[in-house]
Structure 1
Amino acid sequence: MKINKFLYGAVFFMGLLTACDNDRDILLEEALEKAGNNRTELEQVLAHYAGDSIKLEAAKFLIRNLPGHYSYADTSELIPYYDAVDSLLVVMGDSTDKWVVRDSLVSLNRKFADLHARRVQDVKIVTASFLMQNIDSAFVQWRDGPWARHLDFEQFCEYLLPYKAEELQPIDDWRTRLRRFHPDHLDELAYCDLYRNSALQAAITLNSNLWYYMHPGITEENIMKPVYRWHTRLRIPVGTCSEYTSAAVSIFRSQGIPVAMDFTPQWAFRSLGHSWNVLLAEDGKRIPFSGVTSNPGQPHKLGERMPKVFRRTYSMNPELKLLLQREKYVPEVFREPFLKDVTEEYMQCGNICLEVSKEFNRRYAYLMVFNDREWVPVDFAQVSNRQVFFDKVGMNTVYLVACYDGEGILLPLSAPFLFSYGGQLRPIVADTLHKTNLVLYRKYPVLPHVQEIIMRIDSGEFQASCDVNFKKHVLIHRVTDCSATGKEIMVPDTLGRYRYWRYFQPKSGSYCNIADIRFYERGANRPIFGKIIGTDGHWDGNPDGTKEKVFDGDLLTFFDAPLSFGAWVGMDFGRPVELERIIYTGRGDGNSIDIGDIYELFYWDSQGWVSLGRKNATNIRLTYRNVPGGGLYLLRDLTKGKNERIFTYENGRQVWW
């Protein structure tokens, strides 16, 4: 069966070569010409495999796609930096908290801020011996290894054959070196008939090893210059999802496990993008996972909307190649042409077709989403007959179509629009003739990590007493609304005067988490203060979580009591007082309206954001009157913070996009 498979593959691909030989020969000759003085090295590879049609085609695949791949011209320039990272890791040791190490690495990087090693195209430097060794090793993994026999030739070329998994990766013996990096228990799979040839089980085993030994710390942003020396890189305890998944591709391929790297340039609902790995399993399924952090088959970012998904490839995307040749300015995400659109592997997609004006004179347009600060591209398309067509697009997302001038200035071509489920396109256009009022409680949507902690305010009670121990007290309000916004309690004028006022939490697992309380005496516009009273101490894991944090005016600090339930916090005003209202905010993310901060509201017109004015927040809500209705809005906090998200206003509430 094994021999027949490869004979069939040879016949099939020789036929395929005959059908498109002219195009492929052109690409091959282009690569040989770009090699310059290195052409003889590449021709030596072709001559070496002249008698083996399948390996010859594999060699041609690598050479055709060499242009555009880069390495450092002189890695010795980087050695002082790599050595400095090594020394720091040795000094700090494995017992040092990884986030302390992170801070030290950030400081170290400042010393190498001027380090800029020269890059060179691989086609000009790769040697015949290296390519041949790589090809032969990859074929052994494919033909004789246990976890790649299910790949066809095209899959083999993309998932195992490439001599590198990422740009600027050193041209070295990584297959041999990384094969020894924690392969614990992989050989034991041979004793199980079900797992002997299971790429899935091999991936789970290897990734579990990586997690156990590397203990990854995920950061959202790059904190340091990339490290490509393997024995240094694999010891760094923190990194982005992209850094871990890039390393995982090489580690997995060194074992002959077919893995690639997928990414979305930008989430559809919040800031940043994301990268992860994908396994081509023995049953043909593409199974996503996070290299070093979560295994194939485990839930991965469920429910997170993505506008587009791309796979990093070794082969060049001809459409991207054309884009780079034609356009003076290309956004960064599309400057490397080694991407493949795989959006339809992850979600139900739709197609978007829009007309552009007669005045539009550019060849390409971009599909944009908002990243909390600005519109960023997630797809590109050629403009033909005044139409632009984007295919395989994620739905239930707000998009904008735009282009760039030669200097990289964004030029909108459409109004923002909602591409809803079912493929319906709904323009979002502010109506300046029909005004409305907006009442705003937040500047950013409530994400899962916030929803989990805001529930700790459920069942909390506001009480008043003339007894410091609250043996006798009156119940003013019990919390039933756990939405992540500030709340206002209006105290009945019949309640009377009390010296002691508090927040009490009887619910188990709450730890009396609350971020902010403000007491207002009747007839006063400012909060009044007394002596802070309540449960002393804090939860052991949060030494800053004392009761005093409830009255520091900071929504990001909170009381984290030492008791799971029964803790409380309040004020002794030194005299009986009559309160008019109580304003409070539960533990959250600091993105609800913060009293004292200055905000500015914008709406999008045909060319950009238009200000609707600044307001100083005097309550837990902002009211903007006579606002153009039906538009796309953005609320910015000019005092602090960076999380700000576009929204529409529907049925009296903010709807986030």
Structure 2
Amino acid sequence: MKYKYALTGEKLEKYDTIFNYLKTLRNNGISQGSVRSRTILSKTDSLWEQLRKNEGILLKERLLLKPDLLHIDAKYLIENIDYAFKAWELPWSNHLSFEEFCTYILPYRFGNERLEPWRSKIYNSFSKKIDSLIEEDITDPKLVCNLINRELSKVWLYSQTMNNYPVDMSYSSLFNGLIGSCRHQAELGVYVMRSIGIPTVHEQIPHYGNRSVGHDFNSMLQKNGKFVNFEVGNTEIASVIEKREKWGFKIPKVYRQTFEIAHNFEPEKKGEMLSPPFKNPYSLDVSDLYLSVSDLSLDLKFPNYNKSKYAYLCVFDNQNWKAIDTALIDANQKVEFKNVGKGIVYLPMVFTNNTFKPASYPFILHKDGSVSELAPIEKKRKIILDRKYWFKPDISTKPLVNTVIQASNRKDFKNATTLYTIEDTLNYPIPQKINTNTNQPYRYVRFLFPSKSTGNIAEMEFTSETGKRLNGNLISNPELQKNSTLKNVRDQDVATYLKIEKKEKSSNWIGLDFNTKKYIKEISFCPRTDKNNVWPGLSYELFYWDKQWKSLGIKKANSYQLKFESNITQTLFLLKCLDEGKEERIFTYDQALDKQIIW
């Protein structure tokens, strides 16, 4: 029980009233599906904001620490052991060795949650399902895990707001609310699966390599001795890593959160400090189970004035460098990092005076395992910039490709005139303008989307011969008329957009009824956008990395591109919008292609 404890306090108990309220809400008949989700998420957000105003911010550092050695109840431990052995006897669990049982089934807590009896309650709540699976002669733990996870995914809700809940949840909070962050999601997975004999672990991506934050998920041990990943809320087992790679997320490291001590970083030198994330002895590197990895041997090129014992491998999280691995520095100022994810920019750093400081130049670990150091070189050149963040898959122009823009004087668009067809040359999510070259007036206009299109259009405008914006009544096919996002295409806000749900994906269209015939000089539209392109009217500052971020100047954009004069090449750059937005990524500049490479 060494280092095991619960975090509690009066303020935490006040915040936990949210979960009791949500339970009452569900018991009073909040319906399933998207309406239920929106209602509960909205209530959670408003309740959290109200508590924040009344009680103050809920901070982990201000909670009371209660060590298990002093406070744990013997009755609690006995019940936990009894029901763990009961789960081990199930037909999909009885193949486990004693060591596997002790590691993946028996642990009595998840993290720092307040302890409440949970194992017997969960086992008994699933007793009918357990009996049914036994009756069907199911013995494969992966199949059982998949079936149970599908049931959990029907009731669980991910909440961005609950990332502010700074500790793991007690059993009652977890099951009353059935809502939380991805870490709470992983806690639910551990609680339920271990209760019914599925050997389960908690895995963690501490930080992504090309965006902010990280992720928590679960894995379960199969009969073949291999782990397969899953997450509550995602009904497809073995798809956690695959989905994130599909979304473009780069993963530098995966750590398993263990119950037993996994490593023992005890600084030998008095006064030596470890970065906070690496003070946790219950963390095991399992990156090579999930990722294509390389081992790195690095020379630290900057003087180690404070004689730091440890070096840290860091990634950029949009604002700051974050540590994802640590290793000992040898007498020759060399360091070795094992099992490091590829296709990512890293920076070796040391941790002194409670601050990270660069220990060498940043470098790219390419997908083939080769390394390119990014040491700045003085050389004057022009660089042309059009983005400050990488393209996310959901910010795509593809749903608009092959959309036909039509005009007609009939409401049913029979014998409509095609004004324009959006082709696959539409590459950037920025406003587009089209001259119609028509001399005929029309009452009705529409964007006719291709089959299965999700829409993804933010704005739709039509302009008269005099340059005046043409107004009219928003029209669509009947299936889209109840779509709450339909109005977004005329709100003059590119941050909102039309989203067509799967059930609505037929021959969809949106348009305007001008009420009388109008001459249309110009059509303009904007695909769904994150506004991370360079945007006219906004001011930007360009930085380069040379042991710290150094400015290359500020410019106000007058188009969708910016041109800077740089005295530095072969280094990392960072473009910041000074007026709005938070998403920004480091990039290199390919001189041969004359373009940004965003990392």
Matched residue of 1:353: which SS? strand
Cα-to-partner distance string for 1:29-78 (whole Å, 9 max, x where unaligned): xxxxxxxxxxxxxxxxxxxxxxxxxxxxxxxxxxxxx2211124x77775
Is the 1:645–1:656 Cα contact (8 Å) retained in structure 2? Answer: yes
- Contact 1:183/1:206 (8 A) holds in 2: no
Query: Matched residues in 2 for 1:296 and 1:325: separation?
Result: 45
Superposition deviation, residue 220 in structure 1: 7.4
Give the conservation status (yes or no) of the 8 Å contact 1:460–1:503.
Answer: no
**Is 2:599 aligned against 1:641?**
no
| CA 410–485 in structure 1, closer or farther in 2 if over 3 Å, else same | same
Structure 2: how far apart are the matches of 1:324 and 1:240? 37
Select the residue among 612, 621, 624 that pairs with 2:564.
624
Give the corresponding residue for 1:207: 149
Could you tell me which of 360, 374, 379 is aligned with 2:320? 374
Tell me the amino acid that sits aligned with residue 282 of structure 2.
F
Structure 1 residues 477 and 181 mapped into 2: Cα distance closer, same or farther (>3 Å)?
same
Name 2:338's counterpart in structure 1: 391
Superposition TM-score, scaled by structure 1 size: 0.76
CA distance in 1, matches of 2:18, 2:417: 63
CA RMSD of aligned residues (A): 3.8
Residue in structure 2 matched with residue 531 of structure 1 by the alignment = 470
Displacement after TM superposition at 1:298 (Å): 4.9
Rounded to whole Å, the distance in 2 between the matches of 1:571 and 1:323 is 74
Residue number in structure 2 paired with 1:17: none
Q: Identify the residue that residue 430 of structure 1 maps to in structure 2.
A: 376
Moved more, 281-290 or 628-637: 628-637
User: How far apart are 1:543 and its partner, in Å?
Assistant: 3.4
Residue 470 of structure 1 and its aligned partner are, at CA, apart by 12
1:505 matched to 2:447? The reply is: yes
Aligned-partner SS, 1:158: helix
* Map of 1:37 onto structure 2: none
Q: Deviations over 1:313-358 (max 9, x none)?
A: 0111334x32599665443432322100000111221111111247
- Check whether the contact 1:502–1:568 (CA below 8 A) recurs between aligned residues: yes
Hey, what does 2:400 align to over in structure 1?
A: 457
- The corresponding residue for 1:14 is none
The aligned residue for residue 351 of structure 2 is 404
TM-score normalized by the length of structure 2: 0.83
Q: For the residues of structure 1 that align with 2:295 and 2:512, how far apart are their CA atoms? A: 55
Q: Provide the residue aligned with 1:57 in structure 2.
A: none
Q: In the TM superposition, what are the counterparts of 1:490-639 in structure 2 within 5 Å? A: 504-509=446-451, 510=453, 513-516=456-459, 528-533=467-472, 535-536=474-475, 539-540=480-481, 542-546=483-487, 549=490, 552=492, 554-558=493-497, 564-568=507-511, 584-605=525-546, 607-626=547-566, 628-639=568-579
Structure 1 contact 464–502 (Cα < 8 Å) conserved = yes
Per-residue deviation, 1:463:
8.2
State the Cα distance separating 1:376 from its structure 2 match: 0.8
Structure 1 position 167 matched with structure 2 position 101: no
**Do the aligned partners of 2:542 and 2:574 also contact (CA within 8 Å) in 1?**
yes
Deviation at 1:101, TM superposition (A): 2.1
Question: 1:178-227: CA deviations, max 9, x gaps?
Answer: 2123454222222344x2x3221221222222223x24234376144557
> For residue 26 of structure 1, what is the aligned residue in structure 2?
none
Amino acid at match of 2:334: Q
* Residue equivalent to 2:33: none
Kindly indicate whether residue 366 of structure 2 is the aligned counterpart of residue 420 of structure 1: yes
Question: Is 1:69 aligned to residue 4 of structure 2?
Answer: yes
Query: Aligned with 1:402: secondary structure?
Result: strand
Q: 1:71-470 to 2 correspondence within 5 Å?
A: 71-72=6-7, 79-83=13-17, 85-87=19-21, 89-90=23-24, 93-95=28-30, 97-110=39-52, 111-113=54-56, 116-127=62-73, 130-142=76-88, 144-170=89-115, 172-193=116-137, 195=138, 197-212=139-154, 214-219=155-160, 222-224=163-165, 226=167, 228-298=169-239, 300-302=241-243, 303=245, 304-319=249-264, 321-322=265-266, 329-357=273-301, 359-360=303-304, 361-385=307-331, 386-406=333-353, 408-438=354-384, 440-451=385-396, 454-460=397-403
What per-residue deviation string (whole Å, max 9, x for no partner) do you get for residues 345-378 of structure 1? 1122111111124731101111111112221111
Instruction: Give the deviation of 1:411 after TM superposition.
Output: 0.5
Amino acid at match of 2:490: K
Higher mean C-alpha deviation, range 355-364 or range 216-225:
216-225
Give the SS at the match of 2:338. strand
Judged with a 3 Å threshold, the aligned counterparts in structure 2 of structure 1 residues 215 and 555 are, in CA distance, closer, same or farther, namely same
* Cross-structure match for 1:653: 595
In the alignment, the residues of structure 1 paired with residue 111 and residue 230 of structure 2 have an alpha-carbon distance, to the nearest angstrom, of: 18
Does the aligned pair in 1 maintain the 2:262–2:283 contact within 8 Å? yes
CA drift of 1:141 comes to 3.7
Asked if the contact 1:395/1:421 (under 8 Å) is kept, the reply is: yes
Note closer, same or farther for the CA distance 1:234–1:482 as it changes in structure 2 (3 Å cut). Answer: farther
Shift of 1:630: 3.0
Structure 2 CA distance for aligned equivalents of residues 516 and 573 of structure 1? 22
| Structure 1 residue 496 displacement after superposition | 9.3
SS in 1 for 2:252: coil
How far did residue 519 of structure 1 move?
Answer: 8.6
Q: Which amino acid aligns with 2:576?
A: R
Deviation at 1:174, TM superposition (A): 2.1
Q: Does structure 1 retain, via aligned residues, the 8 Å contact 2:543–2:549? A: yes
Contact conserved, 1:248 with 1:292, CA < 8 A, in 2?
A: no
User: Per-residue deviation at 1:134?
Assistant: 3.8
Label 1:114 to 1:298 Cα distance change in 2 as closer, same or farther (>3 A). closer
Between the aligned partners of 1:265 and 1:573, the Cα distance in structure 2 is 59
Measured in 2, the distance between the counterparts of 1:235 and 1:653 equals 52
For residues 190 and 600 of structure 1, the distance between their equivalents in structure 2, rounded to whole angstroms, comes to 64
Letter in 1 for 2:180: G
Is the contact made by 2:313 and 2:324 (CA closer than 8 Å) also made in structure 1?
Answer: yes
Work out the CA distance in 2 between the residues paired with 1:471 and 1:137.
72
Q: Which amino acid aligns with 2:48?
A: V
SS of match in other structure, 2:125: coil
Is residue 455–residue 499 contact of structure 2 (8 Å, CA) maintained in 1? yes
**Contact 1:485–1:620 under 8 Å retained in 2:** no
Query: What is the identity, as a one-letter code, of the residue corresponding to 1:102?
Result: T
CA separation of 1:590 and 1:238: change in aligned 2, threshold 3 A = farther
**Cα offset, 1:398, TM superposition:** 0.9
Shift of 1:243: 0.7
Report the Cα offset of residue 478 of structure 1. Answer: 4.1
Distance in 2, Cα, partners of 1:397 & 1:511: 31
- Check the 8 A contact 1:466/1:576 in 2, yes or no: no
List runs of 5+ in structure 1 lacking aligned partners. Answer: 1-65
Q: Tell me, yes or no, if the aligned pair for 1:459 and 1:505 is still in contact at 8 Å.
A: no
The size of the alignment, in residue pairs, is 570
Residue 588 of structure 1, CA deviation: 2.7
Contact 1:147-1:257 at 8 Å conserved across structures: yes
- Identical positions, percent: 25
Q: Could you tell me whether the CA contact under 8 Å between 2:149 and 2:235 is conserved in 1?
A: yes
